[in-house]
Amino acid sequence: MRFSGKAVIVTGAASGLGRAIAKSLAQEGAKLVLVDRAKDQLENLAVALRNEGGEVVEVVGDVAHEQTSKQAIALALSRFKALDILINNAGINPTGTISQTDPATWRHALDVNLNSAFLFCREAIPHMVEVGKGVIVNTASIAGQRASTAEAVYGVSKAGLIMLTRTIARDYGAKGIRANAICPGVLESVMADRLTRMSVDQVAARDERFAPTVPLGRLGTYEEIAKATLFLASEDASYVNGAQLTVDGGLTA
């Protein structure tokens, strides 16, 4: 039970990777503040985890709004009297080249994928500094490490998130705070917002196209990325700070 008694905030917890991370943390004894805008899905997960004996509270809100970060951190401190770990995982996946991306889409993607992490970190860090310890894990992507075709704003937002992580590692390491980014490759599950723009055939074609290009010969699962995220969040990674942990089956090797 690596996270026994630890107070953890997970954003984007209602589905996909965030859900897998929340479940794994609950199994390892963490007390959770789960954040997502998808009200029903979030509440269903929170109820399920509480029924299994977990200490779980939820915040329904948009991570791009400063109010949501304030609410989540205040809830961790009031309910659990602590904030040990912050996992900024919520994200959206708009596609398109620069000329295919309208300014509103560009700004919105940066707000959700990058500025939200700034807001949550800005709110959480003073409390972590006060107690002299804290851990931040940001879900980035290999799309933030090298350019992907027609993923302009997504890649820029994830590259920004990696630099946000490194900046925190440098500025706050001496205060006992570790910050790391996890960079998943191509996963079996397409992100929910992108899935709304893809047919079943398009998803199958994507999987067929990518799997042979991965040295391990297959796409990754949410559970595999959750395990790597928990490693970074845990004391097993006590000397890991400012890292980009690529978990992509060797795709970018």
Chain contacts with ligand NAD (rule: CB under 6 A)? 12, 14-18, 36-38, 62-64, 89-93, 112, 139, 141, 184, 186-187, 189, 191-193
155 token code pair: 């890649």
Angle, helix 222-233 to helix 16-27, in steps of 10 degrees: 50
Render 140-162 in DSSP notation, one character per residue. --GGGTS--TTBHHHHHHHHHHH
Q: Which is nearer to ligand NAD, 5 or 217 (CB)?
A: 217
- How far is the C-alpha of 198 from the C-alpha of 24, rounded, in Å? 29
- How far is the C-alpha of 36 from the C-alpha of 43, rounded, in Å? 10
CB of 76 to ligand NAD, least distance (A): 17
Q: Which is nearer to ligand NAD, 38 or 57 (CB)?
A: 38
CB of 133 to ligand NAD, least distance (A): 25
Q: Which is nearer to ligand NAD, 130 or 193 (CB)?
A: 193
Q: Which is nearer to ligand NAD, 39 or 170 (CB)?
A: 39
Nearest to 111 by CA among 157, 156, 166: 157
CB of 211 to ligand NAD, least distance (A): 13
**Position of minimal CB gap to ligand NAD:** 16
Q: Which is nearer to ligand NAD, 40 or 235 (CB)?
A: 40
Beta-sheet pairing, 177-184 with 7-11: unpaired
Task: Name the burial class of residue 74, with classes exposed (0-12), middle (13-18) and buried (19+) by CB atoms within 10 angstroms of its CB.
Answer: middle
154 is catalytic: yes
CB of 130 to ligand NAD, least distance (A): 27
CB proximity list for 75: less than 8 A, separation 6 or greater: 33, 57, 59
Beta-sheet pairing, 55-60 with 31-36: parallel
CB of 3 to ligand NAD, least distance (A): 20
Its sign, for the CA torsion 25, 59, 119, 89, is positive
Active site residues: 154
